[in-house]
Structure 1
Amino acid sequence: MCHPAWARARTTALRLEEFTRLRRVRDRIDREYDRPLDVLELARGAGMAAGQLSRRFRTAYGDSPYDYLLTRRAERARTLLLRGTAS
């Protein structure tokens, strides 16, 4: 039987690994917001099921991956309009 501290350390390591995958998904959305992205593609890249990615992403960042993508696109459009470089 393993020591309780080992179990806690393993749980912490798994959480950090999952958060790292979620951060990579968020970074990919930030980089590729102007490309067609869907949750299935993002989940595949993170090695997670789409439903799991959506739930975990919402828990970590407060928005679903799709909502986060729409927010990034809206922010970029607002920036372009304010600069006057796009209509």
Structure 2
Amino acid sequence: MEVKLFYRTQRDLAIALNQLIDSYFEEEIPERKLIENIVTIHENNKHKLVKNHQFTTVIQQHCGKRRLAVVERVLEMK
């Protein structure tokens, strides 16, 4: 799965995160690739992903609790 560095909107970012995490859950990509991609997305799109130390509302609505729990755990690791 190919992940872009920069996303135009929060919705585009949420869709990319969903595809990435779903690919991991379906065992299409390894854990290492998941972690690398989430860290890269976060570093290049911080303002679209997190505001006031919380995921933005659009991200929360489109990704859901289970996927965001994965993102949060990865970001805590780095």
More helix by share: 1
- The question of a shared fold, defined as TM-score above 0.5 by the shorter chain, is answered with no
Q: TM-score, normalised by structure 1?
A: 0.38
Whose relative contact order is higher, 1 or 2, with alpha carbons under 8 Å and at least 6 apart?
A: 2
Q: Which has the higher strand share?
A: 2
